Amino acid sequence: MANANLSKVIADFSVLPLDEKEYALDIIKKQIIEAKRESIAQRAKKAMSNVKKGKVKKGTLKDLYKDLESD
């Protein structure tokens, strides 16, 4: 079903005048940026939660290598 919707959007987009295509593209780019921003915010919240729960290891790069070698 999503494929059919996407095909329709592309078909509808192709008949738009150039200025409307540019406007639509600008809106889509901004929506993508906002979606990425939201994804980063969610990952940051999860990371902070993991820090608070003590699920995160802290240390230097040397400490990290030692920890990786001990696995």
Which tens digits make up the pLDDT trace of 33-70? 999 999 999 999 999 999 999 998 888 999 988 888 88
Contact of 70 with 62, CB cutoff 8 Å: no
Q: How many domains does the chain have?
A: 1
Range of the domain at 64: 2-70
Within 10 angstroms of residue 26's Cβ, the number of other Cβ atoms is 10
**C-alpha dist (Å) from residue 49 to 36, 45, 56, 57:** 20, 6, 10, 13
**C-alpha dist (Å) from residue 53 to 20, 61, 64:** 49, 22, 19
pTM strictly above 0.85 = no
Run of H or E including 44 = helix 18-52
